[in-house]
Structure 1
Amino acid sequence: MVRQAARRLWDDWDRFFFSTTSAQAMAGFRVTFAAFLFYYFLYRRWTLFFFYGPMGIVESGLAYPRHLPLQFSLFAWHWSNTGVAVWPYYALTLGLIACFALGYGTRLAAMGIWVLTASWLNPLAVGLDAADYMVRIQTFIVMLGALAGCFSRGARRVEIWPLKLLQLQLMAIYFYSGVYKIAFPEWRAGSALYFVLGDELFGRFDFAWLAGFPNLVRAFTYGTLLFELALFPLLVWVPRLRVFVLVSGVALHLGIAATMKVDGFIGVTAMFYLAFLTEGDWAAIVARLAKMRGKFCRAILAR
């Protein structure tokens, strides 16, 4: 009986990680992820050039790059003259992202994207936030999948394990975030969101009025903990509840985007959520886009 249970568990694990999906679904994720990376590096350009560029804080001697164990950077050997190379590196980064989006040399492109992303972000002494760490993780996982041919053009069916790794990574992020939060008395008392939203550095509006609604603050605070510690990590794997949990997560992050200045965090989290879309979801999206394109073309031709 124990052997049968172990065998069944192994078969379920094998299906979870090594089942296949359509190349169309993986191509949809590849293109969307590349579009996000393009936006991310445009969004982050000011920070990167402020740190590495001509007259940047490294060249000016105002700050020095970090040298952390096991965190490499292509820029490590020419800190004294980074301004000369910053534009070629930046152009190469965007070029590799474009190649990956179009499906040209996906293996080399994905490897180059990860190497350059790590090179840009690893040494930063200032300007990093949680979104940057998650981008490094995502580019690493996508690189592994690309090296295995999961994002290459031409295949009809590909293994789905890169998306499963992204799913597990998001689950771990939520769970660890919840565990980290409950270490603070404000979260255990249910008042944390009042202080978070009231922080002038992150809050978009004046939420002082929330002091008059302690039960509302308590409900949102405990609701956040419930989502991160139990709702997402446990229930997202239940097929009938998957859509409900994902919609709840999207609503949570839209609420964060509307109330807090953490714009980069929203985009990188959306990439994790895309990993939960099924083959049928991607087929429906492609069909919908094709229908919209047909309507658009007909509208243009009718003018």
Structure 2
Amino acid sequence: MAALRVAVAVAALLDIGIACAPQFATYFFEDGLGGPNAYPSRFRSGHYYWSLLRVLPPTWGPVALMSVWVVAAVALLVGSRPFVSALVCWACAVSFWNINYGLCNGGDQIRNSLFLAVAVGRTGAVWGVESVRRRGFAGRVFVPGWPAKVLLVQFVCLYVFSAVYKLVSPGWQTGYVMYFVNHDLEWSLTPNLSPYLPPFAHRLSSWVAIGWELAFPVLLAFRRTRVLCLVMGVAFHIITFLTLEVGHFALYSLAFYVLFVPWELMRTRKTPRNADFSSVSW
């Protein structure tokens, strides 16, 4: 869980620095595309959307809240008060998302779940300021495993239902959807390279994506296919990040995959057999 905290914090800082900062005034100020009254129907009676930017002054509120988000993300990175800093990151992310929800796609919303999992997962047990402070206390720190399991269930549902949705689409059935996406100037980051691939290669990528997403829970359940499944997932999100305009969905998804790295086994192999674990925080 500590590795997840670090990965999510890095993804959040990249999200802020690359996606938000360059066009910040255009995205979130009331004289641009955002502002507290840009999408009033989203906050009408009966809806449960909320944003701190609707109660902060529009002149300096966005800058102040973004500054708080940056500080909280840095605190999360170094492991300082991870419960509080992760909740602050979550509140800031939800606030900026709701004030201009057109900037985020469905995949970007997984960052909200990751922030909550980091908050409740006791992610400061190692690799952070909290673990350094705890060195004077004897005994181990027990970290709950259920946040990681909840994330796993969420990602399984994300992949499987994404595949089911694609299976009912004629464009995905024929495979030509990726051919047109890879040549689209709005979606593709490398449209000048797409013509070098034959049409069948684009179609094959569509079918492989559907097959992998649909088989993800099954492949993950068996030890012999687990590594292949995870390697395909990492490769899928890296290629998506480099070739398609999908926001930072790929970065937050890659942060999720660090849960499967056996950090404890690596540490055990480097530790002498007769080492004293009485004061180690896990």
The TM-score, its normalising length taken from structure 1, stands at 0.73
Q: How many residues align?
A: 255
For the 8 Å contact 2:125–2:141, the answer to whether it is kept is no
Paired residue type of 1:115: A
Paired residue type of 1:219: L
For the 8 Å contact 1:118–1:136, the answer to whether it is kept is yes
Sequence identity (%): 25
Query: C-alpha separation between the residues in 2 aligned to 1:130 and 1:48?
Result: 21
Equivalent in the alignment of 1:184? 169
Equivalent in the alignment of 1:71? 49
Are residues 205 and 57 of structure 1, via their aligned partners in 2, closer, same or farther at CA, if it must alter by over 3 Å?
closer
After TM superposition, list the pairs within 5 Å mapping 1:61-140 onto structure 2. 63-64=38-39, 66-67=42-43, 69-78=47-56, 81-140=57-116
Q: 2:3 aligns with which of 13, 28, 32?
A: 28
**SS across alignment from 2:143:** strand
Q: 2:32 aligns with which of 48, 56, 59?
A: 56
Are residues 239 and 209 of structure 1, via their aligned partners in 2, closer, same or farther at CA, if it must alter by over 3 Å?
same
**SS across alignment from 2:60:** helix
- Normalized per residue, the structure richer in helix is 1
Paired residue type of 2:99: P
Unaligned runs of 5+ in 1: 1-25, 288-303
Deviations 1:91-126 (A, max 9, x none): 111111222222222222222221121111123143
Query: C-alpha separation between the residues in 1 aligned to 2:178 and 2:238?
Result: 16
Query: C-alpha separation between the residues in 2 aligned to 1:89 and 1:149?
Result: 24
Unaligned runs of 5+ in 2: 135-139, 272-282
Aligned residues: CA RMSD: 3.0
Equivalent in the alignment of 1:10? none
Paired residue type of 1:31: V
Give the C-alpha shift of residue 174 in structure 1: 0.9
The TM-score, its normalising length taken from structure 2, stands at 0.78
Equivalent in the alignment of 1:291? none
After TM superposition, list the pairs within 5 Å mapping 1:1-303 onto structure 2. 26-43=1-18, 44-53=20-29, 55-58=31-34, 63-64=38-39, 66-67=42-43, 69-78=47-56, 81-146=57-122, 153=131, 154=134, 155-203=140-188, 204-206=190-192, 207-208=194-195, 210=197, 213-230=198-215, 232-262=216-246, 264-280=248-264, 283=267
Give the C-alpha shift of residue 181 in structure 1: 1.0
For the 8 Å contact 2:82–2:118, the answer to whether it is kept is no
